[in-house]
């Protein structure tokens, strides 16, 4: 892994530095490098080097002794964003200057994917302010402490001093974020009233907590105590500085946001969909196009969702009848009866939550050893389960995945939300672990990071329909392989798929059909049987992330359709391992390009 890091990033930087005036330096500085791959990798590297937080997250410079970026935070100013859009136009022009006839097949594909992203960036620039940078789900107010806790490593006094520097500089970054938020207010893009209520509650709780209990303080204390390179006296001195920096810089930064949003409340309304914003209907159509990588209309997605909800509910009801449950009162009543059984839940205690994490790890370790029959390509990076930080779990999703560090210093992580014990029935744990971990996000994302010969930008391409479609497909695959042969585990799987089908209905309902927040909550609650706390969290997520929730089911349905297409065409020549290689070995791509891969696989297999 370290060898690959030097090859990708560190080694390239060192060569350019040492061989000034050489071919490598020319490739770095030329308007149009000779090699196409040099150009696309160079542009990604330049963007990374302009983002100290990205460099910290990637974790490759530390392995060659470079750590100064860990004292800095990203530039979040409007001027920096303007600069990026200008830069993207230049990159687009240069990409088109490379003649397809002179490119390898792999480079032609990379060019096509890059142009897909750049074309979308150009077309959607008009909607760049159609979002809520600070909301109950994400934003600087919870992203900053999460980043410091999860990404900023402290193995020396110098690392701790960099940590202190970032505590100082957060006030400036908060002011930069406020600049963009105020511009959105001028344009009439104001978050719904509940969003403002949620973020004010979150931020007030953050500043009201004693500094010693603040995650920025406690995280630094733990990291230093775990290090063998920082003496007890040094730790005390550094923690005293951290306490002062939190009081002097961090708390005032949060207070500036608190004051702003408190004043903004009077302008907020209870209308939640994008339809209420200037050009909101066009902005929503753009979001759907980006997240699904299709041209599906909101009405088409809504109708598909309704049909899938009915189909999946019928499958669940069939199993419940076989298990002796009364379904005469309808789907919602039957699911509520199932969910009401105490035997399906862990104790509502620290011990119960700790056992959940242990059991998740057992589930992942079990399936990891049983995949050879259907996979050839597998990630080298490890996988671990951890709890979503308690300070943000109340408004966080049920789970999420964090990619491993490139240098192997941090494994892939499946973060589980343990706030509401009733949101984690035992029969739902397997499918959630398969989705977020193995063979879901961990396989797809970690494999993409480890692929040889892939341009850097394709290791992190943001094609949500592919990424989330693969994770949802992985739940289905695990069931096919017998890892959910218990009837209740299968209900858990079907509920998870139903959940994604319902998303098609409620996302379009909110942003296209003008459903109020409560109507969407009621629909999801009555059609999924999910815990009320999860339903509210999910609906509020869709409101601040329009279109994203539709990508899961759209992507899964496409992957399954392509698999069936290959099976039908190839007959006994079809090998599921080959199909998975085709899907995974090129990183995340738009769904139409994925279909081209599968079509080529079919043609090549038939020709042999």
In this predicted model, what pLDDT tens digit does every residue of 116-139 receive, in sequence order?
999 999 999 999 999 999 999 899
298 and 325, same structural domain? Answer: yes
369 and 242, same structural domain? Answer: no
pLDDT of residue 384: 92
State pLDDT tens for residues 302-355. 999 999 999 999 999 999 999 999 999 889 889 989 989 999 999 999 999 999
pLDDT of residue 16: 42
CA distances, 467 to each of 474, 551, 588 (Å) = 11, 9, 6
Residue 559, C-beta contacts closer than 8 angstroms, at least 6 positions apart: 469, 470, 473, 583, 594
Question: Would you say residue 79 lies in a domain?
Answer: no
Domain of residue 234 covers 132-269
263 and 293, same structural domain? Answer: no
pLDDT at 21 over 50: no
pLDDT of residue 570: 97
State pLDDT tens for residues 579-592. 999 999 888 999 99
Question: Would you say residue 55 lies in a domain?
Answer: no
**pTM score of the predicted model:** 0.83
pLDDT at 15 over 90: no
CA distances, 514 to each of 299, 507, 540, 582 (Å) = 12, 10, 15, 40
The residue among 220, 236, 269 that closes a domain is: 269
pLDDT at 189 over 80: yes
The residue among 237, 269, 301 that closes a domain is: 269
- Beta strand 412-416 pairing with 383-387: parallel
58 vs 302: CA distance, rounded Å:
38
584 vs 109: CA distance, rounded Å:
15
Res. 24 pLDDT band, cuts 50 70 90: low
H or E element at residue 144: helix 140-150
Instruction: Provide Rg for the chain, Cα atoms.
Output: 25
pLDDT at 4 over 80: no
478 and 343, same structural domain? Answer: yes
CA-wise closest residue to 106 among 40, 58, 183: 40
pLDDT of residue 65: 86
User: Contact 526/313 with Cβ under 8 angstroms?
Assistant: no
pLDDT of residue 403: 87
240 and 375, same structural domain? Answer: no
- Beta bridge partners of residue 204, listed in sequence order: none
- Beta bridge partners of residue 439, listed in sequence order: none
- Beta bridge partners of residue 403, listed in sequence order: none
pLDDT of residue 8: 40
Give SS3 for 117. Answer: helix
Res. 454 pLDDT band, cuts 50 70 90: confident
Question: Would you say residue 201 lies in a domain?
Answer: yes
User: Contact 412/403 with Cβ under 8 angstroms?
Assistant: yes
Mean pLDDT of 221-250: 97
CA-wise closest residue to 502 among 310, 237, 298: 310
State pLDDT tens for residues 513-544. 999 999 999 999 989 877 787 789 889 999 99
User: Contact 4/450 with Cβ under 8 angstroms?
Assistant: yes
Token representation of residue 384: 């671990």
pLDDT of residue 1: 31
The pairs formed by 11-18 with CB atoms below 8 angstroms and a separation of 24 or more are 12/41, 12/45, 13/45, 14/64
Mean pLDDT of 151-156: 95
379 and 335, same structural domain? Answer: yes
Question: Would you say residue 518 lies in a domain?
Answer: yes
318 and 175, same structural domain? Answer: no
494 vs 475: CA distance, rounded Å:
9
The residue among 518, 538, 554 that closes a domain is: 554
Mean pLDDT of 138-152: 95
* Other beta carbons less than 10 A from residue 569's beta carbon: 16
Mean pLDDT of 382-401: 86
What sign does the dihedral 80-86-92-95 (CA atoms) show? negative
Say what percent of the chain tops pLDDT 70: 96
User: Contact 552/503 with Cβ under 8 angstroms?
Assistant: yes
Least confident of 20-29, 289-298, 418-427, 504-513: 20-29
332 and 253, same structural domain? Answer: no
Q: Chain-wide mean pLDDT for the chain?
A: 91
pLDDT at 413 over 80: yes
State the DSSP string of 224-292: HHH-SSS-HHHHHHHHHHHHHHIIIIIHHHHHHHHHHHHHHGGG--S--SGGGSTTHHHHHHHHHHHHH
CA-wise closest residue to 480 among 519, 516, 447, 431: 431
- Beta bridge partners of residue 401, listed in sequence order: 414
411 vs 413: CA distance, rounded Å:
6
Question: Would you say residue 566 lies in a domain?
Answer: no
Question: Would you say residue 100 lies in a domain?
Answer: no
325 vs 302: CA distance, rounded Å:
30
Token representation of residue 544: 């601040």
Mean pLDDT of 484-497: 93
433 and 331, same structural domain? Answer: yes
Residue of 80 and 65 predicted with greater confidence: 80
265 and 241, same structural domain? Answer: yes
User: Contact 144/170 with Cβ under 8 angstroms?
Assistant: yes
Question: Would you say residue 10 lies in a domain?
Answer: no
480 and 420, same structural domain? Answer: yes
Res. 23 pLDDT band, cuts 50 70 90: low
* Other beta carbons less than 10 A from residue 318's beta carbon: 12
Q: How many domains does the chain have?
A: 2
Question: Would you say residue 603 lies in a domain?
Answer: no
Q: 105-124 vs 591-607: helix axis angle to the nearest 10?
A: 160
Res. 213 pLDDT band, cuts 50 70 90: very high
CA–chain centroid gap for 213, Å, is: 28
User: Contact 569/553 with Cβ under 8 angstroms?
Assistant: no
pLDDT at 263 over 60: yes
Give SS3 for 399. Answer: strand
177 and 292, same structural domain? Answer: no
């Amino acid at each position: 892994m370290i060898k690959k890091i030097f090859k990708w990033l560190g080694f390239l930087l060192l060569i350019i530095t040492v061989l000034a005036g050489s071919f490598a330096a020319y490739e770095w500085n030329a308007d149009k490098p000779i090699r196409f791959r040099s150009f696309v990798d160079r542009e990604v590297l330049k963007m990374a080097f302009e983002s100290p937080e990205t460099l910290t997250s990637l974790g490759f410079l530390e392995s060659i002794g470079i750590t100064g970026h860990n004292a800095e935070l990203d530039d979040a100013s409007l001027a920096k964003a303007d600069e990026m859009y200008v830069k993207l136009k230049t990159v687009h022009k240069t990409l088109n200057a490379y003649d397809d006839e002179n490119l390898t097949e792999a480079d032609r594909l990379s060019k096509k994917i890059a142009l897909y992203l750049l074309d979308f960036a150009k077309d959607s620039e008009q909607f760049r302010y159609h979002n809520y940078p600070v909301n109950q789900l994400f934003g600087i107010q919870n992203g900053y402490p999460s980043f410091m806790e999860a990404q900023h490593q402290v193995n020396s006094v110098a690392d701790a001093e960099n940590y202190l520097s970032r505590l100082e500089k957060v006030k400036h970054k908060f002011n930069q974020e406020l600049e963009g938020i105020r511009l959105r207010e001028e344009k009439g893009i104001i978050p719904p009233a509940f969003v403002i209520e949620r973020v004010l509650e979150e931020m007030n709780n953050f500043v009201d907590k004693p500094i010693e209990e603040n995650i920025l303080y406690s995280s630094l204390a733990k990291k230093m105590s775990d290090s063998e390179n920082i003496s007890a006296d040094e730790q005390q001195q550094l923690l005293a500085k951290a306490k002062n920096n939190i009081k002097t810089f961090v708390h005032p930064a949060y207070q500036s946001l608190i004051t702003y949003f408190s004043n903004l409340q009077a302008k907020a309304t209870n209308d939640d969909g994008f339809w209420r914003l200037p050009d909101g209907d066009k902005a929503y159509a753009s979001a759907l196009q980006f997240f699904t990588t299709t041209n599906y209309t909101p009405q088409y997605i809504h109708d598909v969702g309704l049909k899938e909800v009915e189909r999946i509910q019928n499958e669940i009801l069939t199993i419940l009848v076989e298990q002796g449950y009364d379904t005469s009162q309808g789907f919602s009543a039957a699911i509520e009866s199932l969910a009401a059984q105490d035997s399906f839940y862990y104790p509502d205690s620290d011990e119960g939550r700790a056992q959940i994490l242990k059991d998740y790890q057992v589930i992942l370790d079990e399936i990891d050893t049983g995949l050879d029959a259907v996979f050839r390509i597998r990630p080298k990076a490890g996988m671990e389960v951890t709890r979503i930080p308690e300070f943000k779990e109340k408004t966080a999703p049920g789970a999420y995945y964090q990619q491993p560090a490139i240098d192997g210093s941090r494994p892939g992580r499946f973060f589980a939300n343990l706030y509401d014990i009733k949101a984690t029935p035992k029969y739902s744990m397997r499918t959630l672990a398969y989705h977020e971990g193995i063979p879901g996000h961990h396989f797809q994302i970690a494999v993409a990071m480890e692929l040889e010969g892939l341009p850097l930008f394709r290791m992190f391409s943001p094609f949500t329909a592919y990424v989330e479609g693969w994770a949802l497909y992985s739940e289905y695959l695990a069931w096919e392989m017998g890892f959910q042969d218990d009837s209740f585990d299968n209900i858990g799987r079907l509920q998870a798929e139903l959940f994604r089908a319902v998303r098609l209905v409620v996302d379009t309902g909110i942003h296209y059909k003008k459903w109020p927040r409560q109507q969407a909550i009621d629909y999801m609650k009555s059609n999924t049987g999910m815990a009320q706390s999860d339903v509210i969290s999910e609906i509020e997520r869709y409101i601040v992330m329009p279109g994203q929730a539709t990508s899961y089911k759209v992507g899964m349905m496409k992957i399954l359709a392509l698999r069936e297409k290959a099976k039908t065409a190839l007959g006994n020549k079809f090998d599921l391992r080959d199909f998975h290689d085709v899907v995974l070995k090129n990183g995340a791509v738009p769904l139409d390009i994925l279909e081209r891969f599968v079509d080529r696989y079919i043609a090549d297999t038939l020709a042999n």
